[in-house]
Amino acid sequence: MSTETLAKKNIKIKVDEQILLKVLKLNDVSDSYVEWLNDFEVTKFTEQKYFTHTLENTKTFVSQKDESERDLLFGIFFNGTHIGNIKLGPINLEHMSSEVSYFIGEKKFWGRGIASKCVEAIVQFAVTELGLKKVNAGYYENNIGSAKVLQKCGFVVEGNRISQIIFENKRINHVLVGYVPN
Ligand SMILES: CC(C)(COP(=O)(O)OP(=O)(O)OC[C@H]1O[C@@H](n2cnc3c(N)ncnc32)[C@H](O)[C@@H]1OP(=O)(O)O)[C@@H](O)C(=O)NCCC(=O)NCCS
């Protein structure tokens, strides 16, 4: 694998007949993408809710990730329409491990199994194409949807960062999960 694969950056992962993951490029940054990032319902379980997102700073983010040799930022495309993102990164080439994170921005696509399919596909890609030996993720303990997605994809709870997060004026845990291929 490795840096060669990461340097290519035109990677596409076919998830099924309708869903394609494609490394995001500047021209994928649209008004709707920026709107998702400013939608509290979409971001309330993520740190993105603390930022104001604009076309400009979203483009900067996408081009930084595109240039990074340690990140793969994919758009989730459903029948050709961008509906969310999934990121593998930062990728730690010393330890052959990575973080994964994701969101479905178009809310009408929630609850249709799309995040589960995309996480499963990206983990397979990480293991078989990049040779990674560990994939990590984390979620606010009350993010039931994300907990289910990760559990379905074979992630196991490795620990809790106790009282790490303030959510609606209460302190809650951040759950740490990991996937180790067989
Ligand atoms: C969390 C999120 C990624 C789930 O995506 P999704 O495509 O709707 O998830 P799936 O359809 O694959 O659902 C997987 C399971 O979780 C359940 N689920 C999904 N959202 C749920 C919710 N809000 N509450 C309870 N269960 C939920 C589904 O019913 C399904 O359960 P099942 O396997 O028993 O049928 C999506 O709601 C989202 O993007 N939310 C905002 C951003 C976010 O929270 N990102 C993750 C940060 S860690």
Evaluate: CB of 78 within 6 angstroms of ligand 1: no
User: What pTM did the predictor assign?
Assistant: 0.96
Task: Indicate the top mutation candidate among 21, 149, 176, 177 to test ligand 1's pocket, ranked by most ligand atoms within 8 A of CB.
Answer: 149
CA 12 – ligand 1 centroid, Å: 23
Contacts of 21 (CB under 8 A, 6+ apart): 12, 13, 15, 74, 75, 76, 77, 86, 118, 121, 122
In three-state secondary structure terms, 45 is coil
Classify residue 182 by burial, with Cβ atoms within 10 Å: 0-12, 13-18, 19+. exposed
Confidence of residue 36 (pLDDT cuts 50, 70, 90): very high
Confidence of residue 7 (pLDDT cuts 50, 70, 90): low
State yes or no: pLDDT of 8 exceeds 80: no
Task: Indicate the top mutation candidate among 104, 119, 123, 177 to test ligand 1's pocket, ranked by most ligand atoms within 8 A of CB.
Answer: 104
Side-chain-side CA neighbours of residue 122 (13 Å): 34
155: tokens are 């992630």
CA 111 – ligand 1 centroid, Å: 6
State yes or no: pLDDT of 2 exceeds 60: no
Domain boundaries along the sequence of the chain: 3-133
Q: CB–CB of 105/85 below 8 Å?
A: yes
Dihedral sign of CA atoms 18, 101, 177, 147 in order: negative
CATH code of the region 3-133: 3.40.630.30
